[in-house]
């Protein structure tokens, strides 16, 4: 499934420098898996394909929306150009 959301982490220190460039921005995500350990145990995780950001817990995302693939691809391509 394809999603869009605004990446707004509550604790920025746990993310890499690659992740810090997308703070506060709308990003294209794909459905991941439920986190099995850590402070966000039990939450749904999402990931940004072809990135080193890693799994993002739902609590660090705002306005998560399921979107069509064409719209997801547009957001994904825009983010790649900005990088």
Domain ranges of the chain: 2-82
Please tell me the distance from the alpha carbon of residue 47 to that of residue 3, in angstroms, as a whole number.
10
User: For residue 14, what pLDDT is reported?
Assistant: 86
Q: What is the pTM (predicted TM-score) of this model?
A: 0.88
User: For residue 83, what pLDDT is reported?
Assistant: 58
Please tell me the distance from the alpha carbon of residue 65 to that of residue 52, in angstroms, as a whole number.
22
For the beta carbon of residue 72, count every other beta carbon within 10 angstroms. 19
Distances, alpha carbon 18 to alpha carbons 12, 48, 53, 54, 83, in Å: 12, 11, 6, 10, 9
Confidence of residue 72 (pLDDT cuts 50, 70, 90): very high
User: For residue 9, what pLDDT is reported?
Assistant: 93
Q: What is the pLDDT of residues 16-63, one digit of tens each?
A: 888 888 999 999 999 999 999 989 999 999 999 988 888 999 999 999
User: For residue 37, what pLDDT is reported?
Assistant: 92
């Amino acid at each position: 499934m394809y999603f869009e959301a605004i990446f707004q982490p509550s604790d920025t220190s746990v993310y890499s420098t690659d992740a810090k460039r997308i703070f506060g921005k709308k990003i294209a995500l794909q459905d991941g898996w439920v986190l099995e350990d850590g402070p966000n145990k039990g939450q749904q995780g999402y990931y940004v394909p072809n990135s080193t950001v890693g799994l993002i817990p739902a609590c660090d995302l705002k306005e998560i929306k399921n979107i069509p693939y064409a719209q997801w691809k547009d957001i994904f391509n825009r983010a790649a150009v900005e990088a």
